[in-house]
RNA sequence: GGGCCUGUAGCUCAGCUGGUUAGAGCGCCACGUUUACACCGUGGAUGUCGGGGGUUCGAGUCCCUCCGGGCCCACCA
């Protein structure tokens, strides 16, 4: 790292220190923010400003596990917002001398990409079709036109995956250019795709290791199933939504002829009923426990059982347990060892064969009408029959119920029995659960309260992590199964590939010891048809980005990582699953810190999202306001707090960036043709030293804030100081800094010029993480190298230069100047108007301070006559203004005629 | 039903472990082109700190309670 270390300490010897002198190069006559983004992005790329120094040891590295954005649409302001937060951290750490490992990934895995490809190219995947060489899809960019499924051209899996890769590559190019324009200090040599070969190999290797250690397993079990996508769905992907339904009151029949009445919203599941269940303490049903009743219409005999999960005040207090209507049914079925009578199949329709437990003539006839029907039509059939038989009591009553949905689906989930793969995540194992909760405690969340979202989720898990999905585009489960002599797959004896052969696709690759023509044959093999959950890959981003498999040397330098930035909504998914994988594979946390950004809300306080159509495109914003301005807006919002989308805040950021350019140009203009000194020993005037003392405080506060991931506070203290610096200090020292106008430079002039140079040098470093473009631009006018590799400022040197000065001199002089301005403002005259006489009553403590800056105050206030200072008494005037300085008497002179301006 | 966050000027938000008259910026009003800046500068007005109780010499800050926003989990009979 090349930087001069913060502010150099004063030299004591006679050797001039080269680092204390800066030669001012060309400062533009007219400064502008326009074009800085493109210009500096090129310059940074060319000089490798953000290249990770892989010779650095782990202790000198700061590594970031960046969220790979989903490449299935476009980035929105929410992305710009949260990625800026991360970039501020990256830039701060880089300036502190860390080698920053800041890779970028693209999440092009999974359903969103799959669906987008279907729409964009008008195709659909049919894994049974062969690969077609040189295939071209029927459409290009048909997005939004929504091609009906029936009109989509069916293509084989390999062709489909190729299209996925083609489309995501285009998107990724666009995303990268946006990130570059925004000024993310990413090392673009380190980027990855979650569908890339490395990611696939990593996901498959990690899975096989989980399998070898017994952490991954298969089970044939009832589980939540999306009938649209026809895939199993994991707990983390659930979303409870309101769903309209009807309560139906239905009579079962006891042997003695009495009715046992239940209520249900799903009468179509009547043929799947396996028991009636009431609470063991429920007085009303005591006499029925242990007996059987007969279902209406279908005449199936079912037991009446007791279970504590039954709630007496829900419905009739006695429930119909079906295989399977909901997760409670599954629990009853399991715990009471009930038979399985499934009637729903994977497409969400009623089975196409009448099941053997339905034997009555009436039952068989009715079920015959239901065969292959949707649940909706089947319900109508059952309800009509019930009404006719008199077993429907009253009419159905409309109700609003909650149903589980796949977060990307729009039909309620059904429960279907299937063979699936799971990874243990503490959902069924108390020890592992406790260990993962402990990992949560070990992880530092910013803000802290986000930790409870983790522990709530982990504590509330009710099953292991379902990782298999019945989809096409994704990382295949890397196993095959032998097929026995009868043609039956041996699910219990998976054929495991060698790690060195990964990644593999078992649907096209052949396992060792077999030939391709044995696929699907008796005595041969079949591939596992499923792919892994997208989180099964995403949970390995630290390993993928860090080179776990491909570059162990790199991995040792970056893992466990320092920071995981992400949104609060995916703590339960991405964050948790990543913790699970690292815990199982490495016995550690994947990172030390998690920084959680809030949401961007539109002016109606609604979360911005594509589905609501209230998204603002980021590139337009960046071009209109400038990247520094948009970054300023983002950096003004604290972690974990939702922020309003506010153009006003961007305008303030733009104003700040422009002010940085202008104030810098001004400060540098005093150098003339001379070199500008940064030697603190030349700062001799009390007010100059006071300014440096104030700056030292700012440096300490900003540093402490950034160390605790509070970028907002760091920006705020720097910004507040900077505006006072411009409005008061610059005005006060202007005249002195210009000097006498001849070649001689007095000590007082040198003090002002050096103070300005030191302050500018420090302020540019303080602002660099938030305003990388404006600060780099100014830096290039007079310093060597990049400000983004300059050392983060430290207060020591500033304090040495300030000596025993304290900030009071500057604040008091500022207040005095304000009181002089108020005289003119009150008289509605130009600030150029001279004051020929003024008496100020000032607080006790300010008297010496103001006295020591008298000459500067007279100059800045254009006081041409006597300035008299007295100590203010408590009853004098309004002490709340101008720091308690009261104008006792004043007299204004004639304004000078306008000076001719040089164009 | 359980949990977390949040309610301060018209708007967006600061107010750290309780301490003098509650802050900033935007917006608003008035004035001003000053050898950096009109993408500017100077000055000004603006609040029963969601309501009500309590602890305290002292509460925007701590406790209780109610009301309003947002989010997560549970709730499918």
CB A473 within 8 A of CB A114: yes
Q: Supply the DSSP symbol for A637.
A: S
Q: Which residue has the tokens 């430290």?
A: A794
Q: Which pLDDT value is given to residue A698?
A: 94
Task: Identify the residues numbered 706 to 745 in chain A whose C-beta atom is closer than 7 Å to any atom of strand B.
Answer: 713, 716, 720, 723, 726-727, 730-731, 734-735, 738
Q: Which nucleotide is nearest to A666 (CA to C1')?
A: B36
Whether A307 sits with its Cβ under 7 A from any strand B atom: the answer reads: no
pLDDT of A881: 58
Contact A730, A687 (CB under 8 A): no
Which residues 819-838 of chain A have a CB under 7 Å from nucleic chain B?
821-822, 824-826, 828-832
Cα-based distances in Å from A878 to A146, A875, A884, A887, A888: 69, 8, 7, 10, 12
Nucleotide nearest to A669 (CA to C1'): B36
Copy the structure tokens of residue A842: 């000032």
Q: Would the Cβ of A874 be found within 7 angstroms of any atom in strand B?
A: no
| pLDDT level of residue A183 (50, 70, 90 thresholds) | very high
How many angstroms separate the CA of A694 from the C1' of B46? 30
Question: Measured CA to C1', what is the nucleotide nearest A663?
Answer: B36
Q: How far is the CA of A728 from the C1' of B34 (A)?
A: 14
Phi first, then psi, for residue A351 (nearest 5°) are -55, 155
∠ CA A483-A484-A489, nearest 5°, is 40
Question: What is the pLDDT at residue A116?
Answer: 83
More confident residue, A256 or A147: A256
| Count of helix runs (H) and strand runs (E) in chain A | 26, 31
- From the CA of A770 to the C1' of B26: give the distance in Å: 20
* Nucleic strand B contacts from chain A, 17-56, CB < 7 Å: 31-34
Percent of chain A with pLDDT strictly greater than 70:
93
Q: Worst-scoring range by mean pLDDT, A285-299, A323-337, A739-753, A811-825?
A: A739-753
Does A448 score more than 50 pLDDT? yes
Confidence (pLDDT) at A263: 92
**In this structure, is the CB of residue A404 within 7 Å of any atom belonging to strand B?**
yes
C-beta within 7 A of nucleic chain B, residues 631-650 of A: 637-638, 641-644, 646, 648-649
Task: Give the sign of the dihedral formed by CA A16, CA A19, CA A23, CA A29.
Answer: negative
Q: Is the pLDDT of residue A237 over 90?
A: no
Nucleotide with the nearest C1' to A629 CA: B39
Indicate whether A770 pLDDT > 80.
yes
pLDDT band at A589 (very low <50, low <70, confident <90, very high): very high
Q: What is the rounded average pLDDT of the residues A767-795? A: 96
CA atom of A85 to C1′ atom of B6, Å = 22
pLDDT at A897: 57
Note the CA–C1' distance, A872 to B57, in angstroms. 30
Q: Which nucleotide is nearest to A247 (CA to C1')?
A: B77
pLDDT digits (tens, 9 = 90+) for A409-418: 888 999 999 9
- Residue A238's Cβ-side half-sphere holds a number of Cα atoms within 13 Å equal to 19
pLDDT band at A465 (very low <50, low <70, confident <90, very high): very high
Q: Which residue is nearest to nucleotide B30 (CA to C1')?
A: A828
Q: Residue A477 and residue A624: Cα distance in Å, rounded? A: 47
Phi, psi (rounded to 5 degrees) for A813 = -65, -35
- Is residue A245 very low, low, confident or very high in pLDDT (cuts 50, 70, 90)? confident
- A692 CA vs B15 C1’ separation (Å): 26
For the CA of A603 and the C1' of B27, the distance in angstroms is 16
Cβ of A901 near strand B (distance < 7 A): yes
pLDDT at A146: 62
Average pLDDT, chain A: 89
> Nearest nt (C1') to A241 (CA)?
B76
Say how far apart CA A807 and CA A725 lie, in whole Å: 12
Strands (E), A483-571: 525-527, 531-532, 561-567
Q: Is A380 a residue whose pLDDT tops 90?
A: yes
A134 CA – B48 C1', rounded, Å: 76
**Is pLDDT at A148 greater than 80 in this prediction?**
no
Nucleotides of B under 7 A from a protein CB: 2-6, 12-15, 21, 24-26, 30-37, 39-44, 69-77
Q: Which nucleotide is nearest to A34 (CA to C1')?
A: B39
Residue A455: CB less than 7 A from any atom in strand B: no
Shortest-distance nucleotide from A224 CA to C1': B76
Separation of A893 CA and B47 C1' (Å): 39
- Which chain A residues in 181-240 sit with Cβ < 7 A of strand B? 235, 238-240
In this complex, the nucleotide whose C1' atom is nearest to the CA atom of residue A878 is: B21
Phi-psi region of A668 (alpha: psi -120 to 50; beta: other; left: phi over 0): alpha
Q: Which nucleotide is nearest to A326 (CA to C1')?
A: B76
A617 band by pLDDT with thresholds 50, 70 and 90: confident
| Average pLDDT, integer, range A226-233 | 88
**Residue A393: beta bridge partners?**
A249
- CA dist A736 and A759 (Å) reads 16
> What pLDDT shows up at residue A745?
81
Residue A400 (CA) to nucleotide B66 (C1'), in angstroms, measures 29
| Rounded distance in angstroms from the CA atom of residue A121 to the C1' atom of nucleotide B55 | 69
Question: Which of residues 568 to 607 on A have a Cβ less than 7 angstroms from any strand B atom?
Answer: 568-569, 572, 605, 607
Among A115-119, A821-825, A874-878, where is mean pLDDT lowest?
A874-878
Name residues whose C-beta falls within 8 Å of residue A874's C-beta, 6 or more positions apart in sequence. none
The pLDDT-based confidence of A314 (bands split at 50, 70, 90) is: confident
The C1' atom of B30 and the CA atom of A824 lie apart, in whole Å, by 12
pLDDT over 80 at A902, yes or no: no
At A118, is the pLDDT very low, low, confident or very high (cuts 50, 70, 90)? confident
Map tokens 């002179």 to a residue. A893
Judged against a pLDDT cut of 70, whether residue A9 lies above it is answered with: no
CA–C1' span, A49 to B42, in Å? 42
Q: Do strands A444-446 and A465-466 pair parallel, antiparallel, or not at all (unpaired)?
A: unpaired
Query: What does the radius of gyration of chain A's CA atoms come to, in whole angstroms?
Result: 36
Interface residues 274-303 of A with strand B (CB < 7 Å) = 277
Residue A13: is its pLDDT beyond 50? no
Q: Is the pLDDT of residue A607 over 60?
A: no
Residues 534-563 of A with CB under 7 A from strand B: none
Helices (H), A96-135: 111-121
Indicate the angle between helix axes A197-212 and A576-586, nearest 10 degrees.
60
Angle at A598 between CA A455 and CA A89, to 5 degrees: 95
Distance between start and end Cα atoms, chain A: 43
How large is the angle between the packed helices A686-707 and A747-767, nearest 10 degrees? 10
Averaged over A555-560, what is the pLDDT? 97
Strand B–CB A438 distance below 7 A? no
How far apart (Å, rounded) are the C-alpha atoms in residues A767 and A719? 8
Residue closest to B72 C1′ by Cα: A453
Nearest nucleotide to A640 (CA to C1') is B5
Residue A674 — pLDDT band, cuts 50, 70, 90? low
A 354-373: CB within 7 Å of strand B: none
pLDDT tens digits for A701-740? Answer: 999 999 999 999 999 999 999 999 999 999 999 999 988 6
Report the distance separating Cα A655 and Cα A673, nearest Å: 29
Place of tokens 């990992």: A439
Whether the complex's predicted ipTM is more than 0.85 is answered with yes
Q: Flag whether pLDDT at A604 surpasses 60.
A: no
Residues recorded for chain A: 903
Question: Does nucleic acid strand B have an atom less than 7 angstroms from the CB of A263?
Answer: yes
Residue A39's Cβ-side half-sphere holds a number of Cα atoms within 13 Å equal to: 12
Residue of A518, A528, A585, A594 whose CA lies nearest to A561: A594
| Nearest nucleotide (CA of A659 to C1') | B37
pLDDT of residue A471: 83
The Cα–Cα gap between A525 and A845 comes to 91
Q: Whole-number Å distance, CA A882 to C1' B34?
A: 21
A328 CA to B76 C1' in angstroms comes to 9
SS3 content of chain A, % helix, strand, coil (to 5): 45, 20, 40
The Cα A3–Cα A779 span in angstroms is 13
Token pair 């207060």 is found at A795
Token code pair at residue A734: 């202007």
Asked if the Cβ of residue A764 lies within 7 A of any atom of strand B, the reply is no
Task: Give pLDDT tens digits for A840-881.
Answer: 988 888 899 999 999 999 999 999 989 999 887 655 555 555
Residue A652 CB lies within 7 Å of the nucleic strand B: yes
A804 pLDDT higher than 90: no
Ramachandran assignment for A372, one of left (phi > 0), alpha (psi -120 to 50 degrees), beta (any other)? left
Nearest nucleotide from residue A449 CA, by C1' atom: B4
Distances (CA, A) of A819 to A492, A726, A826, A866, A880: 87, 17, 10, 15, 12
Indicate yes or no: strand B within 7 A of the C-beta of A457.
yes
Average pLDDT for residues A620-631, to the nearest whole number?
A: 94
* pTM as predicted: 0.90
Q: Residue A190: which residues within 8 A CB-CB, separation 6 or more? A: A52, A101, A102, A103, A104, A545
Instruction: Specify the nucleotide whose C1' lies closest to residue A325 (CA).
Output: B76
In eight-state DSSP terms, residue A841 is E
Distance (Å) of CA A26 to CA A33, A546, A661, A782:
16, 42, 13, 8
Rounded distance in angstroms from the CA atom of residue A666 to the C1' atom of nucleotide B66: 58
Do the beta carbons of residue A699 and residue A793 sit within 8 Å? yes
Nearest residue to A415 via CA among A426, A406, A424, A407: A406
B46 C1' – A819 CA distance, angstroms?
Answer: 22
């Amino acid at each position: 790292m090349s930087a001069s270390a913060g502010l150099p300490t004063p030299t004591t010897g006679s050797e001039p220190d080269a680092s204390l002198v800066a030669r001012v190069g060309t400062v533009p006559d007219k400064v502008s923010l326009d074009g800085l983004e493109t210009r500096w992005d090129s310059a940074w790329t060319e000089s490798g400003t953000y290249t990770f120094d892989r010779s650095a040891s782990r202790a000198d590295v700061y590594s970031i596990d960046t969220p790979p954005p989903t490449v299935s649409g476009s980035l929105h302001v929410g992305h710009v917002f949260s990625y800026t937060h991360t970039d501020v951290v990256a830039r701060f750490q880089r300036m502190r001398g860390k080698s920053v490992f800041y890779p970028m990934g693209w999440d092009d895995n999974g359903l969103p990409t799959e669906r987008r490809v279907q729409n964009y190219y008008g195709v659909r995947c049919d894994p049974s079709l062969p690969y077609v060489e040189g295939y071209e899809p029927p459409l290009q960019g048909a997005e939004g036109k929504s091609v009906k499924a029936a009109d989509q051209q069916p293509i084989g899996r390999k062709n489909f995956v190729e299209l996925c890769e083609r489309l995501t590559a285009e998107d990724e190019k666009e995303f990268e250019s946006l990130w570059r324009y925004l000024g993310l200090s990413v090392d673009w040599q380190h980027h990855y795709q979650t569908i890339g070969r490395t990611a696939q190999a990593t996901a498959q290797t990690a899975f096989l290791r989980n399998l070898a250690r017994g952490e991954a397993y298969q089970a044939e079990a009832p589980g939540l199933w999306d009938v649209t996508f026809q895939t199993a769905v994991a707990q983390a992907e659930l979303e409870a939504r309101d769903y309209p339904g009807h309560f139906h009151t239905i009579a079962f029949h006891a042997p003695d002829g009495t009715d046992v009445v239940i209520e249900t919203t799903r009468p179509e599941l009547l043929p799947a009923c396996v028991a009636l269940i009431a609470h063991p303490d429920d007085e009303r049903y005591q006499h029925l426990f242990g007996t059987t009743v007969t279902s209406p219409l279908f005449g199936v005999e079912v037991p009446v059982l007791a279970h504590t999960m039954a709630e007496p005040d829900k419905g009739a207090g006695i429930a119909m347990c079906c295989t399977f209507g909901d997760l409670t049914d599954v629990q009853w079925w399991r715990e009471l060892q009930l038979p399985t009578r499934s009637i729903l199949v994977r497409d969400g329709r009623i089975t196409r064969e009448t099941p053997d437990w339905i034997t009555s003539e009436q039952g068989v006839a009715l079920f015959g009408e239901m065969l292959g029907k949707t649940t909706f039509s089947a319900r109508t059939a059952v309800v009509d029959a019930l009404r006719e038989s008199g077993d429907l009591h009253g009419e159905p009553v409309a109700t609003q119920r909650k149903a589980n949905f796949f977060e990307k689906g729009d039909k309620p989930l059904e429960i279907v029995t299937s063979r699936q793969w799971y990874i243990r995540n503490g959902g069924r194992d108390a020890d592992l659960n406790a260990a993962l909760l402990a990992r949560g405690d070990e992880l530092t969340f910013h803000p802290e309260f986000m930790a409870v979202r983790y522990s709530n989720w982990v504590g509330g898990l009710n099953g292991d992590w379902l990782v298999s999905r019945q989809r096409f585009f994704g990382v295949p489960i890397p196993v095959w199964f032998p097929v026995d002599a009868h043609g039956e797959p041996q699910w219990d004896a998976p054929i495991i590939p060698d790690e060195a052969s990964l990644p593999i696709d078992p649907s096209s690759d052949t396992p060792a010891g077999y030939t391709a023509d044995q696929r699907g044959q008796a005595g041969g093999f079949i591939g596992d048809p499923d792919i892994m959950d997208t989180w099964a890959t995403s949970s390995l981003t630290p390993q993928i980005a860090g080179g776990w498999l491909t570059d162990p040397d790199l991995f040792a330098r970056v893992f466990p990582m320092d920071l995981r930035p992400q949104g609060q909504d995916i703590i339960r998914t991405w964050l948790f699953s990543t913790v699970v994988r690292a815990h199982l594979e490495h016995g550690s946390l994947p990172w030390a810190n998690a920084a959680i950004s809030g949401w961007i809300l539109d002016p109606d306080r609604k979360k911005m999202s594509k589905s609501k159509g209230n998204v603002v495109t980021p590139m337009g914003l960046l071009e209109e306001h400038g990247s520094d301005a948009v970054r300023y807006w983002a950096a003004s919002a604290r972690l974990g707090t939702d922020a309003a989308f506010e153009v006003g805040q961007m305008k303030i950021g733009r104003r700040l960036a422009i002010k940085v350019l202008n104030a810098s140009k001004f400060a540098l203009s005093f150098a003339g043709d001379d070199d500008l000194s940064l030697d603190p020993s030349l700062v001799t005037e009390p007010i100059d030293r006071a300014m440096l003392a104030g700056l030292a405080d700012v440096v300490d506060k900003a540093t402490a804030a950034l160390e605790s991931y509070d970028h907002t506070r760091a920006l705020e203290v720097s910004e507040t100081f900077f505006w006072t610096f411009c409005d008061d200090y610059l005005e006060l020292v202007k005249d002195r800094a210009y000097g006498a106008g001849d070649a001689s430079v007095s000590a007082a002039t040198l003090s002002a010029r050096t103070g300005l140079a030191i302050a500018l040098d420090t302020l540019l470093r303080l602002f660099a993480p938030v305003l990388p473009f404006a600060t780099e631009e100014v830096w290039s006018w007079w310093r060597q190298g990049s400000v983004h590799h300059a050392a983060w400022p430290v207060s020591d040197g500033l304090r040495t230069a300030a000596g025993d000065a304290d900030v009071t001199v500057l604040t008091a002089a500022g207040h005095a100047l304000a009181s002089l301005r108020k005289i003119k403002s009150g008289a509605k005259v130009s600030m150029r108007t001279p004051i020929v006489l003024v008496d100020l009553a000032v607080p006790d403590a300010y008297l010496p301070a103001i006295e020591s800056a008298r000459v500067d105050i007279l100059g800045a206030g254009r006081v041409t006559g006597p300035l008299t200072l007295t100590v203010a008494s408590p009853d004098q005037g309004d002490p709340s203004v101008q720091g308690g300085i009261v104008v006792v008497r004043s007299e204004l002179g004639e304004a000078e005629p306008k000076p001719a301006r040089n164009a």
